[in-house]
Chains A and B, each alone.
Chain A
C-alpha cells in the first residue's frame, strides 16, 4: 500500500454509535486505510469540496471511496449522491450506500442517483464485521478505482 493518506475513506454517518461500530469493524478487519467522518449531508459536501475546515488536504485528504448513510440530517444521502454525480470534478468517486433501510424504494432511488453498491447494515455485530471485511476486500483490494478529485 502506498502512502495511506491516498487511500482515505470518507464515512458519512450521523449516528455516533454506528460511527464507533463501523470504525471498530474496520480495525478488526485490519484495514489500514485512514478513516474520515462526516456527520451530516452538508458536512459530507463541504468535505468533498474542501471548504472551511476541510480546505487542508493534508489533514483531510480527498477520499477514494465514500460509505454513505441515507437518512441524514440536513441534506439526505440521496442529495449528497446526486451532488457528487452532478459535479464533474468528483463525479467518478465510488459511493457505497450503507444504511439501515431495506425498503425497495430506497434501493431503487439510490441506484438511480448513481450508487455503486447498496448495503443494509446488519443488526448483528458479526454481520457488520463480515460486511466491512467484504467492503475492504472488494473495493480496496480487488477493484481498480478511478483517480478522482482535486489533488
Chain B
C-alpha cells in the first residue's frame, strides 16, 4: 500500500510510505498484498500517528466520510468525530496511547462518525496499534453499521409487538378458562340438582333431556381445558435440558395399564433427548391416549413403544393394534379440531395430536404417522438426542 502515487480520487500521493519508507513492507509481494487489501477493503481504514494526525486513509474512507484522501491527511482524526464528542475523543485517544492494545473502540457503546456535510452515521471501530522506527501508529478500521442498526431496531420492534400479542393471548386464555367455565359449571351443577331433587316428578324423557344437557356441558368443559393446554404449550418455557425418556414413559405406561387395561411394552432404554420435560411428558400422554382409544370394540389395546437414535436425533414410535388410519387422512390428523370419527364412536376433542405436533415442533422436533386402515398405527416423534454428561 502507499506504493501507488495516485489516489483513486486523483487527490494525490499517500504520504505515509513516502514520508516513512520504513513502514513499507520489505518483501515486494507482501507489499502488493497489503496495498490491495488497503485499496479494496469495504471498511474505512485510517492510520493515525501518536499526536492524533491522520497520516493515511483508504478509498473507502474517502467514500464514507466525503473527503478526498488528501484532505484528511495531516488533519486531526477528530475531524471525523461528531462535534460534541470531539473533546472526549481526544482525551480517550491520549489515554489509549498509554495502553495501546488491539481492541474494539468503545465496547458496548453506540459510536457515531461524522461526514464532511456534518451528518452522522453509526459505526463499529477496531483499533490496532503498531510501532516502527518512525514512531507509534494506530490503525482504525471503521465500519458503517447503518444497515445493521436498522435491522436490529426492526427486529427489536417486531419482538416487542410479538410480546404484546403473546400477553394478549395469555389474557384471552385466562378469560376463557374462568369466564367461560363459570356458566358451564352452573349448567352442569343445576342440571344435576334438577335430576337429584326432582327425579320423582320428572318423566323418563325429561330426565333424559337433563342428562343430555349435563353431558354437553361436560364435553364443552373438556374442550375448553384441552384448548387451554394447547395454548399453554410453548408459553413461558424453560431452556431445553436433557430428558430421560424412560423416566417420562414409565409413569405414562403405568397410568394407562391401570386406566385402560392396556398391554404396554416399553423397549427400554429409550435413551435421552434434549427438550422440556413437561412437554415431552405431554407428548407421551397424548400419543398413549390416542393409541389406546382407537381400538375395535371389545378389543384390548396393545401398545409398543420403541426408540431409535441416528444422526443426533432420537425417534420414538408408538405402535398400536387399533383400527388404523387411511393414508388419505394422514395429512390432516395433526390439525387442531380434526376428527375422523363421530363423538359417539370415539369421544375426544380433536386437540391431542395437534398438541403433540405443536409441542414437538416447539422443541425443533417433528411428528408423523405410519398406518393403514385395519392394520394399526405407528405414531412417532423425533427430537434432538440428549448428551448425557
| Chain A interfacial positions (CB closer than 8 Å to B) | 15, 17-18, 20-21, 24, 71, 100-103, 121, 123-126, 128
Contact = CB atoms under 8 A, between A and B. Distances in A.
A126 B214 CA distance: 13
A21 B174 contact: no
A124 B185 CA distance: 7
Given A71-B178, A123-B221, A100 B193 contact: no
B181 A125 contact: no
Interface string B193-227: 10000000000000000000000001001000000
Nearest to A14: B182
Given A103-B174, A123-B221, A128 B189 contact: yes
Given A17-B190, A20-B190, A21-B190, A121 B185 contact: yes
Contact of B186 (A21, A71, A102, A126): A21
Contact of A18 (B174, B185, B193): B185
B182 A21 contact: no
A-B complex: 8 closest residue pairs judged by Cβ atoms: A17-B186, A125-B192, A21-B189, A125-B189, A123-B185, A100-B178, A123-B221, A15-B182
Nearest to B184: A123
A125 B193 contact: yes
Contact of B181 (A20, A100, A126, A128): A100
Contacts of A124: 188, 218
Contacts of B347: none
B177 interface: yes
Interface residues of B, number: 16
A100 B185 CA distance: 10
Contacts of B185: 17-18, 21, 100, 121, 123
Contacts, number: 44
10 contacts: A15-B186, A17-B190, A18-B182, A21-B186, A24-B193, A101-B177, A121-B185, A123-B218, A125-B188, A128-B189
Which of B189, B190, B193 gathers most chain A CB within 10 Å? B189
B12 interface: no
B183 interface: yes
A21 B177 CA distance: 19
A85 B183 CA distance: 31
Contact of A101 (B178, B186, B218): B178
Given A20-B190, A21-B193, 16 more contacts: A17-B189, A17-B190, A18-B185, A21-B186, A21-B189, A21-B190, A24-B193, A71-B178, A100-B181, A100-B182, A123-B184, A123-B218, A123-B221, A124-B188, A125-B193, A126-B192
B102 to A, nearest CB: 50
B187 to A, nearest CB: 9
B181 to A, nearest CB: 6
Which of B183, B190, B221 gathers most chain A CB within 10 Å? B190
A132 B37 CA distance: 83
A128 B185 CA distance: 10
Nearest to B185: A123
Interface string B156-182: 000000000000000000100110011
Contacts of A15: 182, 186
A4 to B, nearest CB: 24
B143 to A, nearest CB: 46
Nearest to A105: B174
Contact of B188 (A24, A71, A103, A123): A123
Nearest to A17: B186
B175 to A, nearest CB: 10
A89 to B, nearest CB: 32
A121 to B, nearest CB: 7
A149 B185 CA distance: 34
Contacts of A71: 178
